[in-house]
Amino acid sequence: MKKIIVLLFVFLLIFPASSQFENYVEKKIKAVAVVSGEKRGAIIDITVIVTPGNGRVFVSVSPFTEIDMQGSAQLAALTACDLTGEDFLKHNFFYIIEADAPIVGGPSAGGVMTVATIAALKNLTLRDDVFMTGMIYPDGSIGPVGGIPYKLEAAAENGAKIFLIPKGQRFVYVEETKRIQKGPFIFITTQTKRVDVVAYGRDLGVKVIEVENVNDALKYYAGVELKGQISQPTVQKYSDLLKKLADNMKRDAETLYKEFEKVAGWNTKKEVDEKIRIAGDYYSKGYYYSATSMFFTAKIIMRNEIYSKTIKNEKDFSSEAKFIEYELKYLENSIKGYPLGIVSFQIIGAAQERLAEAKSYLERARMSESLSEESLSYLALARERVESAKSWLSLLNEIRRDYLINEEELKRRCNFYLSMFKSLYIYANSIGGYEVLLNSAGERLNLAEYLYSSGYYAGSIFTLIDGMVKVAVSIELIGVRSADELAEKIKDARDSAKNSIGLAEEVSTPILAYSYYEFAETSEGVYRLIYYKLSERIAKTIKSLAGKEQVVNVSYKIPEIPITPEVKSIVEEHIPEIPEFSATLTVAILSLLILLKRRWL
């Protein structure tokens, strides 16, 4: 009780004028952990308090735990809100964690913390004779943990009737140490022993049950099962907009191709022709965003080939870099402070994100060795990123009605996502999240911070969401042991994304969410999982942004870049027929494409 009073006192110091604390809901639950440095379990008393608020998470831990408990609590709160349909930013969350000994904590208590948070959000009554161990994944599934036999023993000693464990962990292995004395000598041996946790629980008078997700656990804790709204997206609503995007990119690709074929070698031309063929195939099947992406990929290869044959000296390079910078800055200034509605927020956000990437590529091009393959590749990426931003902005005049959004609300969302991102990123690293995705997420964080500091809140939000999804998936992949398990996660993510888009349609047109959903349809493996989850997260963000404002008639203006004689692209100059071809340059740009992980548009 003393811990709770102290934590509530801290809350009152931070929010002295708040009288909303009277509306708090408190739930208690017990978790089990392994005592640090020992082969025995310990009971953790967890108190979860949820109040009206603005998306803050407070954690008090005693004694010390070896894993970041703040990150575990953040993930539990966020997952609980996702599963219940609650807006995270309308609540504050307090976690008081107490144990009798230093414990290996954090991940293994994540599932229990999520259950208790859901109970507080929904005011459910929890049984005190049900115990559970298992880390929580962002999709609500329960992940594997260690030390289950020791935790079972501790639960049994503290009145457990039911002990829930992660699916697939009925049989575990523990090490047993034996001391054998022969005369004056003591021999110590270690053996690995296979334990059937269900049978062991039976001997201890506890029913051990495997659970797959939080919903399974709630059936035993509270006798309930969460059921959300079911909805389906209206495909035609997005097809018209995305078809326009694809038409713009196709037209630009065809225009660039006329210059490209004058200088391209046979192998490079063959590569581009194949990309354009695939894009056309996607287009004919109605995968307009995927077609746009493939046209974009073809344009990067073409642009790189043109640069390699036309930029011959520092003056040429400087001229083209200056042209790109001019267009980039003009577009940045044009959309800064742009009036935003929920639909235009997605379009402007997509453009801001792409312009920030263009700026990063331009800086890398200038920092690379003069006129090297790397510098020209980055220059091509910078130019095409600006062009893709133009394509997104061209959709603005298609919007006729929109919800207006308060800029301060966007800034508040940015602050929340930045804080959440950093906490989850640290947590994922501490528990061994998938390194490749975490590295990519770190790059997204840097880009998002630049966008935020520049006042481009829409772009920052989408960049942060992208990074948070990568962090979340890096955690989920820890427990994936087979292709079938990955396929099941992809199927669930697809269903959730489709449903979230349908629900977001109730308030707006979630064009960006549907774009990534469609892109996932043509992607493979882990990237398919990422894009479905990115689609879902964007759709939920769009739905949460809709307030009580009425839809209003709007007329958005597309920024038009004035033609300046002093700033001219080298591509506008005469390009002679050059039959030679450099395979090395093609390999260089394709390597960069692979590093970008297909995240083109």
Catalytic residues: 108, 151
Phi, psi values for residue 293, rounded to 5°: -60, -40
What DSSP character marks residue 45?
Answer: E
Burial of 507 (0-12, 13-18, 19+ CB in 10 A): middle
Q: Which of 549, 545, 548 is nearest to 89 (CA)?
A: 545
Phi, psi of 219 (to 5 degrees): -60, -35
- 450 burial type by CB count under 10 A (0-12 exposed, 13-18 middle, 19+ buried): middle
**3-class secondary structure per residue, 125-193:** CCCCCEEECCEECCCCEEECCCCHHHHHHHHHHCCCCEEEEECCCCEEEEEEEEEEEECCEEEEEEEEE
Continuous segment of H or E residues that includes residue 308: helix 288-310
d(CA 44, CA 96): 10
**Angle in degrees, CA 402, 404, 410, rounded to 5:** 125
Cβ of 413: how many Cβ atoms within 10 Å?
A: 22
Judge contact between 46 and 76, C-beta under 8 A: no
Report the distance separating Cα 220 and Cα 251, nearest Å.
Answer: 58
- Rg (the chain; Cα; Å): 28
**Closest of 577, 499, 571, 513 to residue 542, by C-alpha:** 513
Which amino acid does the sequence have at 15? F
The residues that bridge with 401 in the sheet, in sequence order, are 553
Percent helix, strand, coil in the chain, to 5, is: 60, 15, 25
Tokens for 476, please give them: 């989920």
Secondary structure (3-state) at 511: helix
Q: DSSP for 318-381?
A: HHHHHHHHHHHHHHHHHHTT---BHHHHHHHHHHHHHHHHHHHHHHHHHHSSTT-HHHHHHHHH
- Residues 353, 354, 358, CA angle at the centre, nearest 5°? 120
DSSP single-letter state for residue 562: P
Contacts of 38 (CB under 8 A, 6+ apart): none
Whose tokens are 């427990």? That residue is 479
